[in-house]
Amino acid sequence: METRNKMNRRLIDHQLFWPLFALTVLLVFDFFYIKGFFHLEIIEGHLYGSLIDIVNRATPLMFLAIGMTLVIASGGIDISVGSVLAISGAISALMIGGDLVFVDGVQHYVARYPILVAIFVALVVSVICGIWNGLLIAKLGVNAMVGTLILLVAGRGIAQLIVDGNVITVYYEPFFYIGSGFFLGLPFSIYLVAAFLGLIMWLIKKTAFGLFLESIGSNRVSSRFTGLDVQKIMWACYAISGLCAGIAGIIVASEVKSADANNAGVFIELDAILSVVLGGNSMAGGRFSVIGSVIGALVVQTLTTTIYAIGVPPEITMVVKALVVIVIYLIQSQMGKKTVKRTVKTSAGETALKTQEAKA
């Protein structure tokens, strides 16, 4: 007991094993079956290739996965992220737009509002959406699925309202940088994810937030008895989820250079949930790994790209994703049955009985 030896855990028990394993399997498959998948080339100082493409496209999903991880860890769920994404994209696109002006005879596109202001407003609105969800779920105790359902339904309407039913095209070039630009050879959005991930990891590991969240997700009653502010922490999770959806919305709008309130982010919440599950996190809450979810998002994106690259119609992707989830769940439920059996020794056996009796 004096020696603080690390538990001899097999590699296979580590939470990140499964998402990394899945990713590796996919990449190996791609290596053999898809010509030129791993081909990278540098054009005009920028790195191009399927791999880069995957990571770039995955960034909005990664943001959503980060927020969704926290919400699921608290024991809830957030199905409104797609709608919040649409709202955020709509706001930023609308506020930036791009009016054609002539300066010294040269065409320029000018933003309606400064780009930073537009982004700020979009993010604030997204956080407000998250706070709204938190109000229903953390404070009022409404069921998480139903509570976020409201924003799911309303959000699209709100986004449509903002863009007045139009698809808003953005012409302002600096805006494209967010989603399509490169920095130091790599897509800019990767740096955004890395920075945000760093921030979240600081919150989780350097403050008590991570510990409290895991405690609340594992046993809400015990956490309350221990004096943790359960409501505050749950509320924060939903606010962060809103923020993540907001950032994702801006990236998407920047990538496609427009805001389509009807189609932006449709079904993406399901991809986000899938990423979290693939990342080894339990839907029941408790212990979580944000990095696992981020890798999970990569897996989902790789899966999508692989299926597309093989030439399979994209609709099959949905079927494959669903089957993957079912298989994972079946495995999880089988493994769950084994770990529950705890060998209880003699004196502990008495305890087992006494606690049983006490409950009777």
d(C-alpha 62, C-alpha 64), whole Å: 5
Token pair 């940088």 is found at 177
Q: Which stretch binds other proteins (CB under 8 A): 33-41, 111-119, 213-221, 245-253?
A: 213-221
Candidate segments 19-27, 63-71, 185-193, 320-328, binder of other proteins by CB under 8 A? 320-328
Instruction: Kindly state the smallest distance separating residue 130's Cβ from other proteins, in Å.
Output: 16
Give the Cβ contact number of residue 274 at 10 Å.
24
Binders in 93-122 for other proteins, by CB under 8 A: none
Give CA separation, 158 vs 89, 161, 248, 281, 340, in Å: 12, 5, 17, 32, 46
By CB under 8 A, residue 331 contacts other proteins: no
Q: Does 134 bind other proteins (CB under 8 A)?
A: no
The reply on whether position 35 binds other proteins by CB under 8 A is no
The single residue among 212, 252, 281, 305 that binds other proteins, judged by CB under 8 A, is 212
Q: Which lies closer to other proteins via its Cβ, residue 114 or residue 141?
A: 141
Residues 135-154 that bind other proteins (CB under 8 A): 136, 140-143, 145-147, 149-154
Out of 101, 199, 330, 335, the only residue in the binding site for other proteins (CB under 8 A) is 330
DSSP state of 286: S
Query: Within 41-80, where are the H helices?
Result: 50-73
Place of tokens 């290739």: 49
> Which H or E element spans position 323?
helix 314-340
Window 162-191: residues binding other proteins (CB under 8 A): 164-165
Task: Please list the residues that pair with 100 across neighbouring strands.
Answer: 109
Q: How many CA atoms lie within 13 A of 78 on its CB side?
A: 40
Number of residues binding to other proteins, judged by CB under 8 A: 86
Please say which residue, 151 or 252, places its beta carbon nearer to other proteins: 151
Residues 333-352 that bind other proteins (CB under 8 A): 333, 342-352
Closer residue to other proteins in complex, CB, 37/288: 288
Q: Which of 62, 158, 239, 291 binds other proteins (CB under 8 A)?
A: 158
Assess 206 for contact with other proteins (CB under 8 A): yes
Applying CB under 8 A, which of residues 6, 10, 35, 338 lies at the interface with other proteins?
Answer: 6
User: Does residue number 14 form part of the binding site for other proteins (CB under 8 A)?
Assistant: no
Least distance between other proteins and beta carbon 229 (Å): 7
Q: How many CB atoms lie within 10 A of CB 162?
A: 21
46-55 — which CB contacts under 8 Å span 24+ positions? 46/182, 46/185, 47/182, 47/185, 47/186, 50/305, 50/309, 52/186, 52/187, 53/305, 54/298, 54/301, 54/302, 54/305, 55/187, 55/190, 55/298, 55/301
Binder among 72, 78, 196, 214 for other proteins (CB under 8 A): 214
DSSP 44: T
